[in-house]
Structure 1
Amino acid sequence: MIEVINPYTKEKIKTLALHTDAEVEQKILQAQKVKSALKAFTPFERSQALHFIAQEIEKRKDAFTELIIQEAGKPRIYAAGEVERAIQTFTIAAEEALRPPQELMELGRSLKTARKIGEIRYFSSGVVFGISPFNFPLNLAVHKVAPAIATGSPILLKPSSKTPLTAELLLEVINASKLPKHSVQLVHCSREKGNELVADDRIAVLSFTGSPAVGWKMKQQAGKKKVVLELGGNAAAIVCKDADIEQAVNKLLVGAWAYAGQVCIHTQRIYVAEEIHEKFLEHFKTETQKLIMGNPADDKTNFACMIDDSNTQRVLSWIEEAENKGAQLEFGGKVEDNILLPTLLSSTAKGMKVRDEEVFGPVVCIESFQELSAAIEEVNDSKWGLQAAIFTDSISNLNQAFNDLEVGGVIHNEATTFRVDNMPYGGIKESGFGREGVAYAMHDYLEAKILVKNK
């Protein structure tokens, strides 16, 4: 059984039954069976279905918002924003469905092939198994489902057991569309059963968002199937001496504290030019104190609880470890009214979990630097490489950062949390393998096929 608990009130919202082995097997067979129907479902029909889903979410966005608040503990401002992004993602997919990748290739490289030409089209690889996390229970699920629909690929989605209700509501909307029945199915199962699906040869593509320990193991178990892994990060921002301090602070407040830091591209480390370090630090402290903390269901709340007590205690232990190793606690580091307060640390160093690992909580480390090259070296001195940000008005600084930062994306004059749903999104090193972003995910769900013919 899955008990869905409100992270803030600790009240049980609902209980869901896990699918039995026989039910999971039936879902796999249904996904295989619907492949032919989806192949016959034209790009136009896929696009129309995707537009319908986007429109239905728009009609029910209040219901989606409330569910995300209740089961994820996400403040209303961010929950509502997630719903809007999901609408955008389906809309982008509807557009991309009408322009599937295809090309013509000249094959006349010799007299023998002078009249030959190649037509390259892309076809669904087969059944997709998507695994989505709790922190964006709607939009990260959508980033697996929408590309699957756009490519005509059946998908089995395993949502987080902490936040399955949003996925249930999404499936209700999808089932009201004209998509062939069983195009999208939910699987509520144990991790062990999920691992069996990862290894199942009937699954053609695995798309996983979660922890690296789980993700890389899944890649080993996945066999010959395609694999996309989005495994989080330890995002850093660089604030150069020519940066607009007020702008940088305002942007990084969101990057640092949105959803209590439970975001893969949460701004965890900030490196500030020595010349402006003290001014930046004081302004950052002052603005953080203005956060409105409390019940995520309240309209004015912009900072609330973490997903559960075990993660709260984990983050507290990491803060304590950092202090014991010489870090300076600037503020926070304690729990009040079930909320782990925003926590700022300085004098952090390699060997501290808050500096080296993905905190996935409301902790930020701020340090100073003298030369940009030194700051870039600090950012790169990490096993993570998802996104990084730089605040500067210098083209030279920007180019240096883009060329030298070892990450999947560099964000200019915005927080590390900046993401638009059509951009390629993913990382290197421990941060992942492959890219999300609708058009880029579609490529992972497709196989190229060439027709060689006479002109």
Structure 2
Amino acid sequence: MLKEKYPFYLANKPEMPNTDLEVVDKYTGKIATRVAVADEQTIDRAIEAAHKSVEALRAMPSYKRQEVLYHLVDRFTERFEELAMALCIEAGKPINDSRGEVTRLIETFKIAAEESVRMTGEYLPLDRSPRGKGYVSTWKRVPIGPCSFISPFNFPLNLAAHKIAPAVAAGCPFVLKPASLNPVGALIIGEALSETDLPEGAFSILPCNRDGARLFVEDPRLKLLSFTGSPAVGWSLKAKAGKKKVVLELGGNAACIVDEDADLDDAISRIVFGAFYQSGQSCIGVQRIMIHERIYDEFKSKLVAATRALKMGDPKKEEVFIGPMISEKEAARLENWINSALKKGADLLCGGKREGAMLEATLLENVPDNEDICKKEAFGPVAVLSEFKDFNQALKQVNDSDFGLQTGIFTRDIY
């Protein structure tokens, strides 16, 4: 279970000036713990500390950075079940999927540890012309400087790790704003980091209100912004980021084509997982399914049966596959999208019912193309079926989207 309260981390050290952020158990809706919230003055202090730590971090030899990363691997391995249960409670992620994310967290830091001693360069002879005779050039990679990280709620451990681990490996100080809905996992990462001998100011992990997060984006002392979240927010932040480099990982509306020669059982098992894993709250979650007309009825029947068989309920139970969405507000939004499609002539194949933050795994067909459930990112347990006759037309349908993050094709014919 979670502790009663958690501090934030400012310049490597825990601080508990308040317990203003309530973190709820996403299944029960009850307060699970309380977390310290950073104000703008605290964020400013964190950025200044990161700025001052630049030279000390650059001087830290790579084997020392590798030791830090391997320490984190060891600590996360020791605290495996604690991390998994924290994720299960604060994110509503089923316990087996939570364990999978902790496994990915550990693997991410292992990879970073390996790469931390491979920061190479290149020696380039320049005598490709007479005027370059006797000249050579060399280059090497150097830390970019203080980094600003904003991580999302759907993979609060691993997507924070995707930012933190490379920063430590490269020798870059950072400030991280974890998702306010589930910041505990990131704070446990901070606790493990605080046990190391990183220079003072090398990291800060600061839950904060969105209104107070301006400095994460706009402060010129920060040399890189890495944001994972929605396209609308991501592009807005990029416009405010000034001269710093910006790395965006945004949303998706993934489509799958199931051709007439596909292995149906294999396709169904993989699409069910892709569409409904962690209640569809993934940027690469399967949202549109295009099925060849010759196999449409058989595939639909099997897919509906497999979807109905998914166990829904308390994510702490081993057998549960469908847990709550991140909030009742998000579940209600998606329920409205489903109902809008039904009013416009769509057919409900299964699911569609909501209770609080719990939304059933839902399949629809005959949905008008201009409905939100087709055009926008659902980010929940809903997928839309349609049939096609011509493969090239199916490809055009896949590409008729504002998103381009991921797609899948099930076929035995790669030509």
1:90-141 CA-partner distances (Å, limit 9, x unpaired): 1111111121142222212332221111111011111110000111110000
Could you say what secondary structure the match of 1:321 adopts? helix
1:212 equivalenced with 2:231 (yes/no):
yes
1:238 equivalenced with 2:238 (yes/no):
no
**Which of 156, 160, 163 is the matching residue for 2:175?**
156
- What residue in structure 1 maps to residue 105 of structure 2? 86
RMSD: 1.2
What stretches of structure 1 of length at least 5 have no aligned partner?
397-455
Residue 337 of structure 1 deviates from its aligned partner by 7.0
**Which of 264, 267, 278 is the matching residue for 1:259?**
278
**Which of 122, 130, 134 is the matching residue for 2:153?**
134
1:104 equivalenced with 2:123 (yes/no):
yes
Q: Aligned partners of 2:253 and 2:195: how far apart in 1?
A: 40
- What residue in structure 2 maps to residue 47 of structure 1? 66
- What residue in structure 1 maps to residue 76 of structure 2? 57
> Is the 1:233–1:384 contact (alpha carbons within 8 Å) kept by the matching residues of 2?
yes
**Which of 64, 71, 96 is the matching residue for 1:77?**
96
> Is the 2:125–2:137 contact (alpha carbons within 8 Å) kept by the matching residues of 1?
yes
- What residue in structure 1 maps to residue 3 of structure 2? none
Equivalent position amino acid for 1:166 in 2 = G
> Is the 2:284–2:406 contact (alpha carbons within 8 Å) kept by the matching residues of 1?
yes
- What residue in structure 2 maps to residue 34 of structure 1? 53
**Which of 37, 59, 66 is the matching residue for 1:18?**
37
- What residue in structure 2 maps to residue 329 of structure 1? 348
Q: Aligned partners of 1:104 and 1:283: how far apart in 2?
A: 59
Percent identity over the alignment is: 39
**Which of 383, 387, 391 is the matching residue for 1:368?**
387
Q: Decide whether aligned partners of structure 1 residues 321 and 337 sit closer, same or farther in structure 2, where only a CA change above 3 A counts.
A: closer
Equivalent position amino acid for 2:125 in 1 = E
1:266-291 CA-partner distances (Å, limit 9, x unpaired): 10111111111111111111111211
Write the mapping of 1:30-429 to structure 2, written as runs, cut at 5 A.
30-336=49-355, 338-396=357-415
Residue 338 of structure 1 deviates from its aligned partner by 4.9
Q: Aligned partners of 2:117 and 2:409: how far apart in 1?
A: 36
- What residue in structure 2 maps to residue 3 of structure 1? 22
Residue 184 of structure 1 deviates from its aligned partner by 2.1
Q: Aligned partners of 2:120 and 2:311: how far apart in 1?
A: 47
Q: Aligned partners of 2:410 and 2:203: how far apart in 1?
A: 42
> Is the 1:195–1:218 contact (alpha carbons within 8 Å) kept by the matching residues of 2?
no
Q: Aligned partners of 2:379 and 2:120: how far apart in 1?
A: 36
- What residue in structure 2 maps to residue 411 of structure 1? none
Residue 6 of structure 1 deviates from its aligned partner by 0.9
TM-score normalised according to structure 1 size: 0.85
Q: Aligned partners of 1:42 and 1:349: how far apart in 2?
A: 58
Could you say what secondary structure the match of 1:192 adopts? helix
Residue 297 of structure 1 deviates from its aligned partner by 0.6
Q: Aligned partners of 2:123 and 2:379: how far apart in 1?
A: 46
Could you say what secondary structure the match of 1:322 adopts? helix
1:217-272 CA-partner distances (Å, limit 9, x unpaired): 10000011000111110011111111110000011111011111111111011111
> Is the 2:40–2:213 contact (alpha carbons within 8 Å) kept by the matching residues of 1?
no
Could you say what secondary structure the match of 1:227 adopts? strand
Number of aligned residues = 396
Answer with 364-373 or 157-166: which moved more.
Answer: 364-373
Equivalent position amino acid for 1:199 in 2 = E
Q: Aligned partners of 1:88 and 1:128: how far apart in 2?
A: 22
Q: Aligned partners of 1:367 and 1:376: how far apart in 2?
A: 13
1:386-431 CA-partner distances (Å, limit 9, x unpaired): 11111112221xxxxxxxxxxxxxxxxxxxxxxxxxxxxxxxxxxx
Residue 349 of structure 1 deviates from its aligned partner by 2.7
Q: Aligned partners of 1:395 and 1:363: how far apart in 2?
A: 29
Residue 336 of structure 1 deviates from its aligned partner by 4.2
Equivalent position amino acid for 1:23 in 2 = T
- What residue in structure 1 maps to residue 16 of structure 2? none
Answer with 77-86 or 29-38: which moved more.
Answer: 29-38
> Is the 2:127–2:134 contact (alpha carbons within 8 Å) kept by the matching residues of 1?
yes
Residue 354 of structure 1 deviates from its aligned partner by 0.4
Equivalent position amino acid for 1:394 in 2 = D
Residue 87 of structure 1 deviates from its aligned partner by 0.5
RCO higher in structure (CA 8 A, sep ≥6): 1
Q: Decide whether aligned partners of structure 1 residues 101 and 353 sit closer, same or farther in structure 2, where only a CA change above 3 A counts.
A: farther
